[in-house]
Amino acid sequence: MSLSRRGFLAWMGAAGITALGSQAGATPRHFKGYPQSLCVLHDITLCIGCRSCETGCNKVNELPPPAVPFSDLSVLDKKRRTTAKTYTVVNKYLDSGQEKKPIFFKTQCNHCLEPACASACFVRAFTKTKEGSVTYDASVCVGCRYCMIACPFEIPTYEYDEPLTPRIMKCTFCHPRVTKGLLPGCVEACPTEALSFGKREDMLKLARERINKYPGRYVDHIYGEHEMGGTNWLYLSGVPFRNLGMREDLGTTPAPELTSGALATVPMVAALWPVLLTGIYALSKRKEKLLSGDKQNALAQALAEANAKSQAALTAAMEKAKREKEEAVQKAVKTALEQSAKKTQEQ
Amino acid sequence: MEEVKSTLRWTAMLCTAVGLVIFALSAEGYKAPEQKAEKDRADIILIDTSPVFGRGDKPPVAFPHDRHTEIMAEQKKDCFLCHLKESKPQAVSAGPAPQPESTERMSLKFKRLKDTNLKEVRKIYHDNCIGCHMSMAEKGQEFGPIICGECHKEGAEYRSARKPSGMDNSLHFRHTKAAQNKCETCHHAYDDKAKKLFYAKGQEGTCRYCHQMKTEENRISMPLASHMSCVECHRLGKEKKLEAGPVTCSGCHDSKEQMKIKKIEPLPRMERQQPDTVFVKTLGKDEKAETPRMNPVPFDHKSHEGYNDTCRVCHHASLSACNSCHALGKPLKDGNFVKLDRAMHQAGSQTSCIGCHQLKQQAKECAGCHVFMPKGLMEQSDSCLKCHMKPLPDSAAFPKTAEGEKELAKKLLQSRQPVKGTYPQGDIPENVIMKDYADQYEPAEFPHRKVVSSLVEKMNGAKKTSQLAAYFHNDLGTVCQGCHHYSPESQKPPKCANCHGRPFDEGNLMKPGIIGAYHQQCMGCHAAMEIKKPKECVECHKEKKK
Amino acid sequence: MFKLSDVLNRSLLTPFNIIAGIILFIGLIITALRFTGGLAAVTNLSDYNPWGLWIGFDLLCGVALAAGGYVTSAAVYIFGMKKYHSAVRPAILTGFLGYALVVLALNYDVGRPWRLPYPFVVQAGTTSVLFEVGACVLLYLVVLFIEFTPAASEWLGLKRARNLVVRLTMLLTILGVILSTLHQSSLGALFLIAPSKLHPLWYSQYIPVFFFISSIIAGLSMVIFEGSLTHRYFAAKMDETHLREKEDVVFGFGKAASFVLAAYFAVKVFGIAMDDNWRYLSTSYGAWFLVELIGFVALPCLLYAAGVREKNIRLIKWTAAWAVLGIVVNRFNVCLVAFNWHLPSSERYFPSWMEIGLSVFIVTVGVVAFKFIVTYMPILYEHPGYKTPHP
Query: At C341, which CATH number?
Result: 1.20.1630.10
pLDDT value at A45 more than 90:
yes
pLDDT at B99: 43
pLDDT at B107: 83
Measured in residues, chain A has a length of 347
Which residues in chain C are contacts of B7 at CB distance < 8 A?
306, 310
- The DSSP code sequence of C135-161 is HHHHHHHHHHHHHHHHHHHHHHT-HHH
pLDDT at A6: 55
Interface of A with B in 209-228 (CB under 8 A): 209-210, 213-216
Q: Considering CB atoms only, which of A46, A193, A202 is closest to B513?
A: A193
State whether ipTM is beyond 0.95.
Answer: no
C367 falls within a domain: yes
Task: Report pLDDT digits (tens) over B345-398.
Answer: 988 888 999 999 989 999 999 999 999 988 776 667 778 888 999 888 877 778
C308 falls within a domain: yes
Contact B246, B226 (CB under 8 A): no
pLDDT at B95: 40
Q: Is B43 exposed, middle or buried (0-12, 13-18, 19+ CB in 10 A)?
A: buried
Contact C153, C383 (CB under 8 A): no
Interface of A with C in 88-127 (CB under 8 A): 116, 118-125
Selection from A198, A66, A281 nearest residue B508 by Cα: A198
Alpha-carbon radius of gyration of chain C: 21
Task: Report pLDDT digits (tens) over A177-201.
Answer: 999 999 999 999 999 999 999 999 9
Helix (H) or strand (E) holding C110: none
- For residue A208, the one-letter residue type is R
**C52 Cβ partners below 8 Å, 6+ apart?**
C43, C44, C45, C336, C349, C351, C355
What is the spatial distance between Cα B94 and Cα B87, in angstroms, rounded to a whole number?
12
pLDDT at B221: 87
Q: Do B11 and C303 touch (CB under 8 A)?
A: yes
Task: Report pLDDT digits (tens) over B360-373.
Answer: 999 999 999 999 98
Q: Do B506 and A196 touch (CB under 8 A)?
A: no
Task: Output the furthest CA–CA distance in chain B (Å, rounded).
Answer: 122
**C312 Cβ partners below 8 Å, 6+ apart?**
B4, C306
Return the number of other C-beta atoms located less than 10 Å from residue B534's C-beta. 13
- Chain C nearest-CA distance from B22, in A, is 5
pLDDT value at B96 more than 60:
no
Which residues in chain B are contacts of A193 at CB distance < 8 A?
503, 512-513, 515-517, 519-520
pLDDT value at A217 more than 50:
yes
pLDDT value at A168 more than 90:
yes
Task: Report pLDDT digits (tens) over A118-143.
Answer: 999 999 999 999 999 999 999 999 99
Task: Report pLDDT digits (tens) over C319-329.
Answer: 999 999 999 99
pLDDT at C391: 43
Selection from A203, A256, A206 nearest residue A229 by Cα: A256
Return the number of other C-beta atoms located less than 10 Å from residue A255's C-beta. 27
CB pairs under 8 A between A and C: 178
Task: Tell me, yes or no, if C376 comes closer than 8 A to chain A by beta carbon.
Answer: no
What is the spatial distance between Cα C190 and Cα C184, in angstroms, rounded to a whole number?
10
pLDDT at A106: 97
C162 falls within a domain: yes
Contact C39, A148 (CB under 8 A): no
Q: Can you say whether the dihedral through the CA atoms of C297, C300, C305, C308 is positive or negative?
A: negative
- Chain A nearest-CA distance from C23, in A, is 23
Q: Do A192 and B503 touch (CB under 8 A)?
A: no
DSSP-assigned beta bridge partners for residue B87: B104
pTM beyond 0.80: the answer is yes
Task: Tell me, yes or no, if A46 comes closer than 8 A to chain B by beta carbon.
Answer: yes
Q: Can you say whether the dihedral through the CA atoms of A256, A257, A261, A264 is positive or negative?
A: positive
Q: Do B22 and C303 touch (CB under 8 A)?
A: no
- The DSSP code sequence of C275-296 is HT-GGGGGSHHHHHHHIIIIII
C389 falls within a domain: no
Task: Report pLDDT digits (tens) over C30-43.
Answer: 999 999 999 999 99
Selection from C136, C131, C104 nearest residue C215 by Cα: C136
Contact C71, C90 (CB under 8 A): no
Contacts 24+ apart (CB under 8 A), B284-291: B284/B323, B284/B326, B284/B327, B284/B328, B284/B329, B284/B332, B284/B340, B285/B321, B285/B323, B285/B324, B285/B327, B286/B327, B287/B327, B287/B328, B287/B329
Which residues in chain B are contacts of C295 at CB distance < 8 A?
15, 18
How many domains would you assign to chain C?
1
Pick B107 or B276 by higher pLDDT.
B276
What is the spatial distance between Cα C286 and Cα A282, in angstroms, rounded to a whole number?
45
- Chain A nearest-CA distance from B523, in A, is 9
Residue numbers of the domain that contains C94: 22-376
pLDDT at B128: 92
Q: Do C125 and A124 touch (CB under 8 A)?
A: yes
- Chain B nearest-CA distance from A134, in A, is 22
- CA C312 from chain center: how many Å? 25
Interface of B with A in 350-379 (CB under 8 A): 374-375
Number of helical H runs and strand E runs in chain B? 21, 12
Task: Report pLDDT digits (tens) over B179-229.
Answer: 888 888 888 888 888 877 788 888 888 999 988 988 887 788 898 888 888
Alpha-helical segments (H) within chain C: 4-8, 15-37, 39-42, 53, 62-65, 68-73, 88-109, 118-121, 129-156, 159-167, 169-189, 207-234, 240-275, 284-290, 299-309, 313-332, 353-376
Average pLDDT, chain A: 90
- Chain A nearest-CA distance from C31, in A, is 11
Contact A206, B509 (CB under 8 A): yes
- CA C252 from chain center: how many Å? 20
Selection from B283, B295, B282 nearest residue B392 by Cα: B295
Torsion of Cα atoms, C255 then C260 then C261 then C263, to 10°? 130
pLDDT confidence bin for B453, thresholds 50/70/90: very high
Task: Kindly report the backbone phi and psi dihedral angles of residue A83, in degrees, each rounded to the nearest multiple of 5, phi listed first.
Answer: -130, 180
pLDDT at C304: 96
- The DSSP code sequence of B46-107 is EE--HHHH---SS--EEEEHHHHHHHHHHTT--GGGTPPEEEPPSS---S-TT-TT--EEE-
pLDDT value at B90 more than 90:
no
C302 falls within a domain: yes
Spell out a b/e string for C276-291, using b for 16 or more CB atoms within 10 Å of the CB, else e. ebeebbbbebbbbbbb
Q: Do B510 and A183 touch (CB under 8 A)?
A: no
C285 falls within a domain: yes
- CA B202 from chain center: how many Å? 27
- The DSSP code sequence of C234-255 is HGGG--HHHHHHHHHHHHHHHH
C286 falls within a domain: yes
Task: Report pLDDT digits (tens) over C138-152.
Answer: 999 999 999 999 999
**B238 Cβ partners below 8 Å, 6+ apart?**
B244, B247
Task: Report pLDDT digits (tens) over B3-46.
Answer: 556 667 777 787 788 777 777 666 555 454 444 445 788 888 88
Contact A155, A171 (CB under 8 A): yes
pLDDT at A15: 46
Query: Which region among A307-321, B287-301, C3-17, C161-175 has the lowest average model confidence (pLDDT)?
Result: C3-17
Angle C207-234/C169-189 helices, nearest 10 degrees? 120
Which residues in chain B are contacts of C303 at CB distance < 8 A?
11
Residues in chain C with pLDDT values less than 50: 391
pLDDT value at B77 more than 80:
yes
Q: Do A197 and B504 touch (CB under 8 A)?
A: yes
Task: Tell me, yes or no, if A102 comes closer than 8 A to chain B by beta carbon.
Answer: no
C9 falls within a domain: no
pLDDT at B26: 62
Q: Considering CB atoms only, which of A46, A50, A213 is closest to B520?
A: A46
What is the spatial distance between Cα A50 and Cα A181, in angstroms, rounded to a whole number?
26
pLDDT at C8: 65
- The DSSP code sequence of A41-68 is EEEGGG-----HHHHHHHHHTTPPPPSS
pLDDT at B33: 46
pLDDT at B196: 78
Q: Considering CB atoms only, which of C290, C302, C306 is closest to B22?
A: C290
Q: Which other chains touch chain A, taking contact as 3+ CB pairs less than 8 Å apart?
A: B, C
Average pLDDT, chain B: 85
What is the spatial distance between Cα C126 and Cα A249, in angstroms, rounded to a whole number?
28
Task: Report pLDDT digits (tens) over A219-273.
Answer: 999 999 999 999 999 999 999 999 999 999 999 999 999 999 999 999 999 999 9
Q: Can you say whether the dihedral through the CA atoms of A97, A103, A108, A112 is positive or negative?
A: negative
DSSP-assigned beta bridge partners for residue A223: A235
What is the spatial distance between Cα B281 and Cα B43, in angstroms, rounded to a whole number?
45
pLDDT at B108: 85
pLDDT at A235: 98
Task: Report pLDDT digits (tens) over B454-477.
Answer: 999 999 988 888 888 988 888 899
